[in-house]
Amino acid sequence: MRLYRLTNQERAGSGFTHQFVIEGSELTADNVAQTVDLITISESSFIDDNFLVRVDEAIAGPAANVGLEVGVTGDPNYRVLSSEVKTSIAAGTLYTTLADDSARGCGDVTASNTYTATFTSSSGKLNVTTNTGKVSIFMRILGNSELGSLTQA
C-alpha cells in the first residue's frame, strides 16, 4: 500500500488530503479475506465522514468476486460498505461513504483508531499469483497543527 499526501492544488480540487493506493498484487492472504492497515489516527486528528473509493483498474486474479470495505479495526465497513472491485467493474467506478451515516455525526475527532481496507472474496482464496489491478481510497484527514489559528489585526 502506498500513501500520498495530496498537493494543495489536488486538495482544493477534490477536497481530500490523502490517497491510499492498493495494488492487486498485494492481495496475498491464504484465505478469503485480507485487511490492509491504511493509517492510525491520533486523538488530535479529524477525519471527515466523506470517503471515496475509486477502482483505478479492476482487480483480476481471484476466481470469485472481490469486495472492498473501508472502516476501523473491529468494524470493517464503518465508512464504505462492501463494494465490488473485481474484473467486471469498469475503471473509474466510484464508491463513497455509507448513504445513511447520520448516526456518526459530521466527523471523527477520535482516540487512536486504525483505518483499514478489507478485501473479501465471495469464495476461494485471494492469494492468486496473477493478481492485477489497483484501487485508490481518498480521505480528508486534518491534524491539529494543520488547522492553524487566526490572529486579530
In the prediction, which pLDDT does 46 show? 79
Q: What is the pLDDT along the chain (153 residues), one digit of tens a residue?
A: 999 999 999 999 999 999 999 999 998 888 889 999 998 887 677 788 788 999 999 988 877 788 999 988 778 777 888 788 887 888 999 988 765 544 444 445 555 578 899 999 887 788 777 788 999 999 998 877 666 665 555
Q: Which amino acid would we find at residue 91?
A: A
Distance CA(107)–CA(12), nearest Å, equals 19
Which pTM does this prediction carry?
0.85
| 3-state DSSP assignment of residue 140 | coil
> Nearest 5 degrees, angle CA 123-CA 100-CA 44?
95
Q: Which fold has domain 2-144?
A: Jelly Rolls (2.60.120)
In the prediction, which pLDDT does 57 show? 93
In the prediction, which pLDDT does 105 show? 41
Distance CA(150)–CA(153), nearest Å, equals 9
Give the burial class of 86: count Cβ atoms within 10 A of its Cβ; 0-12 exposed, 13-18 middle, 19 or more buried: buried
Segments making up each domain of the chain, as ranges: 2-144
